[in-house]
Every structure is written in structure tokens, then in C-alpha cells.
A and B are shown apart, each in its own frame.
Chain A
């Protein structure tokens, strides 16, 4: 503890199990401005364990903004108030001494709470399973640059591929819509030659699964883009709409 520490009041969502009724619980902490918000929760959990209380459950892995595992809603904003960073990259220096901070889980019907701040995002995995892949022949590794790809196209595909699958777009959306995530995944393949063979089936299958999983539809409020830690553009959603329209009208899929 030193003199620079921030004294904060935390209101943290505690929910013992998926079906249980959750509620905010108050905690007072003193934290270094250099700590990340997850480090602050680590310290709080150490304290809680010392007092034989249940630690706060939250998820994280890389803690450098690349894996998409972390994801908290901080004062109503997924990944907190600073644009284009993940929760693990949010440092306490952005808060003032005496602040009250609300920490909640992502909220969407398709992301049920498992416990406290951890939510079940397996609906994203189902969407990826439905079409987020390409088929390649087994055998030797293909040579690099064997297929020529225009630099602009490659960059655009890379921008879409920057999505880390965190689910903040769903959490930010007033409709619990997964359109930004799905559009990024569809785009990265639709733009590249390797994605062409399954192009139409992919978008049909991924949208069908997205609807099945209970995500809402897109009303173009663009909250997702504002909260996305990777700055995925809503132009991807426009592309998804286009891809879906064309695929629906022209794919070989007649039955369903």
C-alpha cells in the first residue's frame, strides 16, 4: 500500500449459479493506479479468501488483449470506458479516488451467467462450428504466396480477422445481437480466395445458428463498433447482409 493508492467502492454482481437470483455486493478496495482492473479483482479475491469468503468468479487468460477471454461490464460499458481495449488492458489510473465502480457480467439471453461475472459464451463456438472454417486438402504445407492476393484485400480480411471473439458486441447491443462477431467471421473468409468454396453455405449456416442460439437482430445502432476492443467496423455487418442476401437467393440449398 502506498500514498498513491486509489480508494474505490466496488459494486460487484454476485450470482452463485445460473438459475440463482444475483445482486450487487459492495466492496471497498485500495488499489495502485498501475494495477489493471483484473489485478484489482485478484487482490480482492486474495482478501476474500483470507477471510474465508467466496472469491469473485471472472474469466481471463492472456491478459494482453489478444485472447478474448476476459470481458466485464464496467459502469455499463463492456470492457470499460476506454475505447478499443479489452478488460484486461484497463488500468485503474483511468479512475479517480473515491469513485464507485459497477462491475457486471455481459448480459444477453444467449450468454447465460455461469457464476458471478463469468458467462457461458459457447453459443459463439456453435456459430463457428456451423461455418467458421475452410476445407483444405491434406498433404504438404502450401507455399507462401502461392495464391496471389491483393494487398488491400488481404488487409481488409486481416482487419476482420482481428476479432478476438470476446462477445462485447453482444453485451453492448440493446438487442443482444451477435451480428458484429458473425460478420467479422464471415468477412475474413468471404474476402479471401481460400474461403470461396464454402462461401454461400457458410453464411447461411452461420446466420441460421446465430438465430437458433437466441441472439437478437441488428437495428444498426452501432453500439457494437463503439465497444469492440478491436475496432471491428460495422461495414462488416453490411457485408454480412449482402452475403446472406446473395447466398439465400443463389445457393443450391433449396430445402432449407
Chain B
């Protein structure tokens, strides 16, 4: 596998991993979001949705393993790239002209990614772990809405979703560029779709804690 490790460890190879895992995560987010939106339909709808997932547990477990691999690859590679790129730059200029050359979303992927990572850990700890390891049936709707009633929890959730939107606004088009799909005719459209996707994803994910915190009396 000499050629393959050379390929995958090259700068472009690492970026292709970022783009591939990033696009897979983008698809995952859509599915995850659709499921979460059943929360608006009330306890029964959400618990039925969660129960259905339980019925397909073996498949869900496989997907979870795949997701773990995807996340680990994305986060590990993102960290490695950030570190090597920092070293490749060396020192900075006396006058910072970055805002004239680039947009904030492109410059802050490591920062937004890191917050998303912290969010991910808290998210798994508060929702995924209890729903899988609390022994016996639990009322998932009650658990979720209970957390969302806490202003600090919901506040961080909303903050993280806004930063996820930042990450996606850059990431969506960036992944296309990394795969080499930048055509004069279509790329402006890809950029617009990416921004729309980022805004919708951030807004809809964040709308859930907003709803349960402010409009649904904490339950």
C-alpha cells in the first residue's frame, strides 16, 4: 500500500479526507435534524420516533460506529492540518489585512470546529449516554425538554449551533472545491446552496431549545 499511504498522507490527500468526511457529516446532520423536529409535535411523536430507532438497533449501532470513524477522521485530520499549517506560516504580518482577503467563516474553521467538538461531547453525555445506558425504558422527551429548560444548557446549545452554521457556510463549498468540483457555471450556485444549508441547519437545530426554553414553559 505504498502509493496509497503516500496519497492519503499528502496535503491534498488529507484535505480529501476532510471533504469526504465533511460531506458525510452534512448528510448526517440533515437526517438528525429531521428526527429532532418531531420534538415540536409533542411527547408521543418524539418518543415514537425514538422507539422506532430502537427497533432497528443493530442498524443504528453500525451507523454509530461509522459516524464515530467519520468524526474521528474529520477531527483528527482537522487538528493535524491546522497544526502543520500554523508551522508552515511561521510569523504573521505587522498589519492584519486578512479581512480584505478572506471571510470570517473561512478563517475560523478550527475555532468553530473546536466548539462543535465540545458541544458534541456534552451532547453525547446528556442525551446519547442516558438514552442507551440508563437501563430500561426512559422518557426521552422528558429528558430532552428537561435539559432545554435550563438556560445555560440551551444557551450553549444555541451558541454552538450558530457556530455550526459558520462552519458549514465555509465547509459546504470548500468540500466541493477540494474535490475539484469548481465550475464557472455551477460554483456560485453551490456557494449559495451552502449558505442556505448552513442558515437552515443552524436555525432549525437552534429553534428547538429556543422553543422549549421560552415558549413551552420548560416542559
Contact = CB atoms under 8 A, between A and B. Distances in A.
Contacts of A211: 10-11
A208 B5 CA distance: 12
A207 B177 contact: no
Nearest to B87: A109
Contact of B88 (A175, A227, A237, A255): A175
Given A217-B84, A219-B106, A102 B95 contact: yes
B88 A73 contact: no
B10 A109 contact: no
Contacts of A215: 11, 88
A168 to B, nearest CB: 11
Contacts of A174: 85, 89, 98, 102, 107
Contacts of A241: 12, 15-16, 177-180
B16 A245 contact: yes
Interface in B115-133: none
Interface string B51-90: 0000000000000000000000000000001001111111
Q: Say which size band chain A's interface belongs to.
A: 35 or more
B177 A108 contact: no
B85 A248 contact: no
A227 B101 contact: yes
Contacts of B15: 217-218, 241
A217 B90 contact: no
Interface residues of B, number: 46
Given A216-B11, A219-B106, A244-B12, A254 B177 contact: no
Contact of B13 (A172, A173, A248): A248
A96 interface: no
B181 A107 contact: no
14 contacts: A76-B94, A104-B93, A108-B90, A109-B87, A172-B101, A177-B88, A207-B12, A216-B87, A235-B184, A237-B182, A240-B12, A241-B179, A248-B6, A253-B3
Interface of B: 2-3, 6-7, 10-16, 81, 84-98, 100-103, 106-107, 109, 170, 173-174, 177-184, 187
Interface of A: 11, 24, 73, 75-77, 81, 102, 104, 107-110, 172-177, 207-208, 210-211, 214-223, 226-227, 234-235, 237-245, 248-249, 251, 253-256
Given A219-B81, A239-B180, 18 more contacts: A76-B95, A109-B88, A172-B101, A175-B85, A175-B89, A177-B88, A214-B88, A217-B14, A217-B15, A218-B12, A219-B109, A227-B101, A234-B182, A240-B180, A244-B12, A248-B6, A249-B7, A256-B6
A-B interface, 10 closest residue pairs, ranked by CB to CB distance from nearest = A242-B180, A216-B88, A76-B97, A76-B95, A238-B182, A175-B85, A217-B11, A223-B101, A176-B88, A216-B85
